Amino acid sequence: MASVYKNDNAQREVRSWCVRRIADWGIPHVRSEVVTSAGVTGVVTTGPEPRDGEPSVVLLPGTNMNAALCLPLVEMLARDRRVVILDLPGQPGLSAGRRPHVRRRMAWYGNWLSEALARAVPGPAVVVGHSLGGAVVLASDAPRIVGRVVLAGAGITRLRVPVPLLAATVPWLLLPSVARSATLLRRMAAPGRGELPDHLSAWMHLVARHCRTSLAPPPLPSSLLEQRRTVPTLVVAGRFDPFLPPRVLGPAARRRLGAEFRVIEGAGHLLLDEAPVEVSAVVEEFCVGLGH
């Protein structure tokens, strides 16, 4: 298995950045670890104890992201619900850095999520996955999952990479800088929006310097997605998502998953950063709709 990190020092730098950011969070929380067959998994838990069998909300960040990048959204979700963030193994963060062979990646991730839920989340869970995290949410058949929310999620249809986004990605990888990171992020976000948070550009600069970024997974097999119809699923897209535009993702979500589909206006691919208020409201509405 290859590592997401270029060397041991790179892993220390990334881990230190994440630990500091979570430690500085002004919300009561617990940072812990669980051990799975994929290695150590970093866990951040916050919010009230679940009442009367209500599910916890389990958040899976996407490619190059982790718990330390999700705190503003989690703060909103945790006002009423227990929230557990799981860092994906094989992505930069507080989980193990080794990633599986690309041909069996999603089965590996699905098994990892089932194990992580069993160890870190007592009781039922509504799993919320962004981008790569959305594909992982769909790859797992864990019995604890009572609902799925897929935010700009891979695994349903093939991602598109427009030329302007590709043109911003290459210099970000070859000549990393905070400015090039900001340019790349702007290409992922809705056009005309204000600057994204400074910490996001700093983080992406760190990723380009120290990590080997991974490609999006291909669509999951139709037979697997057919099995996921037994659990309620909501798929959400930003109106201006360059990778997964609603005109493409919406029909695929309905056809392949039988899922409800929602669009968040004024947002692109970076839903957790561009629209935390709207995403929090959509997740809460979904949980209430489950009868919890």
Q: What is the pLDDT of residues 266-275, one digit of tens each?
A: 999 999 999 9
Domain boundaries, the chain: 2-160+215-289
User: From the centroid of its chain, how far is CA 250?
Assistant: 19
Written as tens digits, the pLDDT of the chain (292 aa) is: 689 999 999 999 999 999 999 999 999 999 999 999 999 999 999 999 998 889 999 999 999 999 999 999 999 999 999 999 999 999 999 999 998 877 789 999 999 999 999 999 999 999 999 999 999 999 999 999 999 999 999 999 999 999 999 999 999 999 999 999 999 999 999 998 777 888 999 999 999 999 998 888 899 999 999 999 999 999 999 999 999 999 999 999 999 999 999 999 999 999 999 999 999 999 999 999 997 5
Q: How distant is the alpha carbon of residue 270 from its chain centre?
A: 10
Return all residues near 70 (Cβ < 8 A) that are at least 6 apart. 59, 61, 85, 272
- Neighbouring CB atoms inside 10 A of 6's CB total 12
CA-to-CA separations, 245 to 111, 142, 180, 232, in angstroms, rounded? 29, 29, 24, 22
Task: For the full predicted model, state whether its pTM sits above 0.85.
Answer: yes
CA torsion 223-224-227-228 (nearest 10°) is: -140
| Token pair recorded at residue 200 | 């996001």
The three-state (H, E, C) secondary structure of 61-104, written as one string: CCCCCCHHHCHHHHHHHCCCCCEEEECCCCCCCCCCCEECCHHH
CA distance 57 to 249: 23
Quote the pLDDT of residue 1. Answer: 66
User: What's 2-160+215-289's CATH class?
Assistant: alpha beta
Which pair of structure tokens corresponds to residue 256?
A: 């392949």
Residue among 134, 92, 93, 98 at smallest CA distance from 113: 134
Distances from the Cα of 275 to the Cα of 29, 51, 103, 204, 285, angstroms: 23, 28, 33, 19, 15
Q: What is the total residue count of the chain?
A: 292
pLDDT for res 143: 95
The per-residue pLDDT of the chain, averaged, comes to: 95
